[in-house]
């Protein structure tokens, strides 16, 4: 068995995000704006998308290299047909020391009412739901398709009923669109006992029109929430945890801030991303991915695959957020939905 690899900055490989589809039923302004990715946009053909068997084989190799957390993403992962079967396959994997994997999924919640129970029965442990406002008008401005908040909330209820907890809810905050929803979202999360995480609007891909003026900084978000409910910072639960955590003084849970713009966390980043078409990216802001699909399909042995992945991680030196300038519009990037966010 290969020793778990460390990258050039001494960071282990601990987390793998697997995109199972590039398709999505939303057109969020920060990911797949409908002006660019409309009805005529051509998504990947089926033969370029990793099969469940290929995803399982790749995931097994990553686990042998030290991965302990698998997160299923998209696009919107719940639009991938037969997803509970993939979850069942992945749930059988065990960490290097024989423990169950932390197997989770990020979703917009649109299909959770129908799929929460089958996913839980297949072995999914918990879910993270993206929800940017409780106000339908504001939410529509963010999701681009006039999808009602009530259906997302119903999906969250279904996930709670299915035992997919603790549930985290991600809210991307963009200046001028939904920053007035910050406190109402925090109030709802406290009452519902879900963990809300605010995400600074960031410059992923070429299509989101990113400007620093659009960013609501982490400090401002913390001030807004703690002015309503006092809270104190909490130490990270593990190395590589991306959210700064704050626990409410009255015991009503906690909230988190993912601040890749104003407080980069590159130095402890332990994540890799496997895209829908089998490219391996070692940073959310990466441009080029390494072709894992080719290795999966060219007759290479499992040992060849392990060596290939280990070599990629050994060579990793990504720290894009720490090097970010005021504007990065001139830097090459890949769209977030293409690699799985």
CB count in 10 Å sphere of residue 341: 20
E-strand ranges in 101-241 read 102-107, 126-130, 168-173, 195-200, 231-234
> 120: buried, middle or exposed (CB in 10 Å: 19+, 13-18, 0-12)?
buried
Cβ atoms of 200 and 215 closer than 8 Å = yes
- The domains of the chain, with CATH numbers, are 15-339 (3.20.20.70)
> 330: buried, middle or exposed (CB in 10 Å: 19+, 13-18, 0-12)?
exposed
Residue 287 confidence (pLDDT) above 80: no
Confidence bin at 112 (pLDDT 50/70/90): very high
Sheet with 126-130: strands ordered across: 231-234, 244-248, 254-258, 195-200, 168-173, 126-130, 102-107, 69-73, 15-19, 271-274, 279-281, 290-291
For the CA atoms of 87, 91, 94, 98, the dihedral, rounded to the nearest 10 degrees, stands at 160
What mean pLDDT is reported for the chain? 89
| pLDDT value at residue 238 | 76
Cβ atoms of 207 and 36 closer than 8 Å = yes
Lowest mean pLDDT of 44-58, 59-73, 96-110, 234-248, name the range: 234-248
- Give the C-alpha distances (Å, rounded to integers) separating 293 from 51, 118, 171, 290, 314: 10, 28, 32, 9, 20
**pLDDT tens figures, 86-102:** 999 999 999 999 999 99
Share of the chain above pLDDT 70, in %: 89
| pLDDT value at residue 332 | 52
**pLDDT tens figures, 190-225:** 999 999 999 998 765 544 445 678 899 999 999 999
């Amino acid at each position: 068995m290969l020793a778990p690899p460390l990258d050039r900055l001494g960071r282990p490989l601990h987390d793998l995000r697997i995109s199972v589809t590039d398709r999505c039923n939303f057109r969020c302004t920060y990911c797949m704006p409908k002006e660019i990715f409309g009805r005529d946009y051509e998504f990947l053909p089926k033969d370029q998308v990793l099969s469940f068997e290929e995803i399982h084989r790749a995931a097994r190799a990553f686990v042998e290299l030290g991965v302990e957390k698998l997160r299923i993403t998209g696009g919107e992962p719940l639009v991938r047909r037969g997803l509970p079967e993939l979850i069942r396959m992945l749930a059988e994997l065990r960490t290097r020391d024989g423990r169950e994997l932390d197997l989770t999924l990020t979703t917009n919640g649109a299909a959770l009412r129908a799929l929460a129970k089958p996913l839980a029965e297949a072995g999914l442990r918990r879910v993270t739901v993206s929800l940017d406002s409780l106000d339908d008008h504001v939410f529509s401005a963010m999701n681009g398709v006039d999808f009602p908040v009530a259906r997302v909330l119903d999906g969250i209820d279904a996930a709670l009923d299915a035992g997919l907890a603790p549930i985290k809810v991600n809210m991307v905050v963009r200046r001028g669109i939904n920053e007035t929803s910050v406190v109402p979202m925090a109030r709802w999360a406290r009452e519902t006992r879900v963990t809300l995480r605010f995400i600074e609007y960031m410059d992923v891909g070429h299509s989101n029109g990113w400007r620093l003026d659009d960013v609501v900084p982490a400090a401002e978000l913390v001030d807004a929430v703690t002015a309503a409910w006092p809270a104190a910072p909490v130490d990270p639960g593990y190395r590589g945890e991306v959210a700064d955590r704050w626990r409410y003084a009255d015991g009503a849970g906690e909230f988190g801030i993912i601040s890749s713009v104003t407080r980069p966390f590159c130095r402890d980043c332990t994540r890799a991303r496997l895209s829908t078409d089998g490219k391996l990216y070692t940073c959310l802001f990466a441009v080029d991915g390494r072709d894992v699909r080719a290795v999966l399909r060219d007759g290479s042995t499992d040992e060849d695959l392990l060596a290939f992945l280990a070599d990629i991680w050994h060579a990793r030196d990504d720290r894009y957020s720490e090097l970010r300038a005021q504007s990065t519009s001139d830097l090459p990037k890949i769209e977030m939905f293409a690699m799985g966010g």
